[in-house]
Amino acid sequence: MPDEGTVVPPLNPFVAILLVCLALTGLLFGATALARALRWQPESARKLVHIGMGLVTLTFPWIFSERWPVLVLCLLAMAGLFCVRVVPVLRAGAGEALHGIARVSLGEFWFTLGVALVFWIAKGNSILYCVPILILTIADAAGALAGIRYGRTPFATLSGTKSIEGCIAFLLVAFFAAHVPLLLLSDIGRTESLLAAAILATMVMLVEAITTRGLDNFVVPVGACLLLQQYLEMAPAALASRLVVIVLLLASVLLLRKESTLDGGGLTGGVMLAFGCWCLGGFPFLVPFLVLFGKHVSVTRRVRAVSPSPHNLLAVFSITGSCLPWAIAERFGQDLRFLAPFLLALAAHLAILGGTTLSVIDPKRGKGARIARASLAAGLLVYLFELLAVPPSTLLLAHGGLALVLLPLGGLLFERFVEIRPDPPGDARRWWIQAAISLALSFAAFLLPPL
């Protein structure tokens, strides 16, 4: 049943589906004709379609009282968009507004799936549905157009570049797209609406900054909906703490970005990973990331003198794949049960990265000595942070000793499958192997009794 305040639609669902299909079809033809008449750039025409689709879908809570019509509409829209993409006559006609751009994008399909999933999650709650769709509709378009016109500070992503100016425009518009509806149409207080909108806008801006090929049209609304579900139930103090942490993480990265080999996408992903682990497990799951980043910054200058190759988002995905599962498990566990495997996974990354760094800045050092030194430093890191989180005990020594035994094995195994050279490979294979080894080692700590 729809939440209180949702209007029961007067239309038959099949009539509503037909009207939406006609509106979207008219939008495609109208946007193409207008773009041709005004000689718009392809990206501008595409964003007009984007905004129009968003405005049409914003009506869903008031014209659909059940979820199945939206699912049917999603399937019909996907079929229609597929035909527009593959049929030459349709692609050159109504589809010109969508497919005039040179870059490869599946944004219209992700948009359709994102809207359907958000409607499903919202369960008739108009605020929970409309805020994410409004952010997707106007903030995404504002960010893209501002980046094209005013972007002067680009940063690299996995499939191209984006601009800081575009991200700022997205952030500002997303904030108002969330704050105004929350303030005027929801039951939460003024302070809560302000804080929730600020955190939500910041998080979806980070998500949009690292997603490519139109995937942001799915991740942004779905992520915003899931986050908003939590924020609507939070007290002001909890919301304020989240805002402070994310702002401090962003400020640190911006201040130290030139001291890091991570590109813009990698730094953005690192902020999201650290913030997510803190939200899930608290400060014991955040501080090790800060130390890892500090260690990374401290050796960057020496590494750049020999190997200027940057690291991208794949490096962050590698750490995410082996560490985030333990942070998620801690969210549903208790008493830091999953801190030890989390730290061992992070220490394994630190040991592998330390070993490869030594091979670059000190190539005369033998493999055994290099791996042993990097593993010892990483193992001590594990022990020290466990000591900060839990009281000293024999079991704590066992966890530290386990790390000192397993980390050299992880380093040797890594170098068995990955060639170590000053100019590291840029493909994903190296990072998948590192993630797999780190995750495998971390299970050993999970098998020990909890601290």
- Side chain identity at residue 450, one-letter code: P
The DSSP bridge partners found for residue 161 are 156
pLDDT at residue 192, rounded to an integer: 94
DSSP string, 423-441: S---SSHHHHHHHHHHHHH
Cβ 131 vs Cβ 222: under 8 Å: no
List pLDDT tens digits, range 65-83: 889 999 999 999 888 888 8
Structure tokens at 266: 């990698």
- Span 265-285, mean pLDDT? 91
- Side chain identity at residue 86, one-letter code: V
DSSP state of 311: B
Of 66-70, 75-79, 91-95, 423-427, the range with the lowest mean pLDDT is 423-427
DSSP string, 326-361: HHHHHHHS-TTTTHHHHHHHHHHHHHHHHHHHHHHH
List pLDDT tens digits, range 206-221: 998 888 777 888 999 9
pTM (two decimals):
0.85
Q: State the burial class of residue 99 (Cβ atoms within 10 Å of its Cβ: 0-12, 13-18, 19+).
A: middle
What angle (nearest 5°) sits at the alpha carbon of residue 354, between those of residues 352 and 360? 110
DSSP string, 72-91: HHHHHHHHHHHHHHH-HHHH
Among 7-11, 175-179, 378-382, which range has the highest average pLDDT?
A: 175-179
Confidence of residue 264 (pLDDT cuts 50, 70, 90): confident
Structure tokens at 331: 């969210």
**What is d(CA 178, CA 194) in angstroms, rounded to the nearest whole number?**
9
DSSP state of 283: G
Cβ 33 vs Cβ 69: under 8 Å: no
CA atoms within 13 A on the CB side of 371: 19
**What is d(CA 315, CA 265) in angstroms, rounded to the nearest whole number?**
10
Cβ 114 vs Cβ 136: under 8 Å: yes
pLDDT at residue 6, rounded to an integer: 47
- Span 365-376, mean pLDDT? 88
DSSP state of 449: P
Helix (H, G, I), strand (E, B) or coil at 414: helix
Is residue 297 predicted with pLDDT exceeding 90? no
State the CB neighbour count (10 A cutoff) for residue 361: 15
Is residue 201 predicted with pLDDT exceeding 60? yes
Q: Which of 169, 182, 96 is nearest to 132 (CA)?
A: 182
Residue 172's H or E segment, with its range, is helix 164-185
**What is d(CA 382, CA 378) in angstroms, rounded to the nearest whole number?**
7
Q: How far apart are the first and last CA of the chain?
A: 46
Structure tokens at 137: 């509709």
